[in-house]
Structure 1
């Protein structure tokens, strides 16, 4: 009973991330998530997103994409190309034939990448020189 009361309290004050089926088909988006709009998606070329494990995704001006793994994860780079899908997801096709589509959102001053299977990865945004 205490757990239910605490959950209700956090939901009411809005400080607990609550999935919303209204915002996402798979329930991965949270109430405060704001999907990247057309302007943010158009600004992807020339941007770099650094994940908290120090992996880095780079979006090239020409549709090129690379993901460099952190040294702790073995280093190395996966190369590919990206496009923005009609639904706003960012889709990457790697040179090895694998592909993925992720949703980029902001949530309270933080950018988060949501994978197709609902995993959430906060990232730090930087611009390429």
Structure 2
């Protein structure tokens, strides 16, 4: 029973630490990447859908809701917010928070993930 309680509290602590740790992430920037101010990022995302080359989409709705649609179907829903440092965070309904950096590079928005991936945006609708 003691082990089970310890595991539960460790899981809760990890979930609570997620958003705090997200603020200290380091993204794989390149020299050609231009960071956006928090207000510019807010303006670039609000009410728009980013379409990626694989067909997936990220919809940043005006009411603060977010919807990620996989290229092959399937959705993830949450609430989005911008932060300093060209960062956008999504609090998913699954109680997981994810933060990415969105930069401009060669006249294109690019989503940088903390695990080193770069996802150029094909179009913005």
1:100–1:116: 8 Å Cα contact kept in structure 2? no
Aligned to 2:66: 65
Match of 1:19 in 2: none
Alignment check: 8 A CA contact 1:47 1:125 kept:
no
More helix by share: 2
3-state secondary structure, aligned to 2:54: coil
Please give the secondary structure, in 2, of the residue aligned with 1:70: coil
> Number of aligned pairs?
100
Deviation string 1:18-45 (CA, Å, 9 cap, x unpaired) is: xxxxxxx746100010012244312111
Rounded to whole Å, the distance in 1 between the matches of 2:100 and 2:26 is 13
Q: How does 1:39-118 map to 2 (within 5 A)?
A: 39-43=39-43, 44-71=45-72, 75-118=73-116
Supply the distance in 2 between the matched residues of 1:82 and 1:117 (Cα, whole angstroms): 20
Scaled by the length of structure 1, the TM-score of the pair is 0.70
Post-superposition offset of 1:111: 1.2
Is this contact kept in 1: 2:38–2:82, CA < 8 A? Answer: no
Which sits farther off after the overlay, 106-115 or 33-42? 33-42
What runs of 5+ residues in structure 1 fail to find an aligned partner? 1-24
Q: Which piece of structure 1 moves more, 82-91 or 51-60?
A: 82-91
Structure with more contact order per residue of length (Cα contacts < 8 Å, sep ≥ 6): 2
What secondary structure sits across from 1:58 in the alignment?
strand
The SS at the match of 1:40 is helix
Q: Distance in 2 between matches of 1:119 and 1:41?
A: 20
Q: Which ranges in structure 2 are unaligned for 5 or more consecutive residues?
A: 1-24
Deviation string 1:39-69 (CA, Å, 9 cap, x unpaired) is: 4312111111111110000001011000011
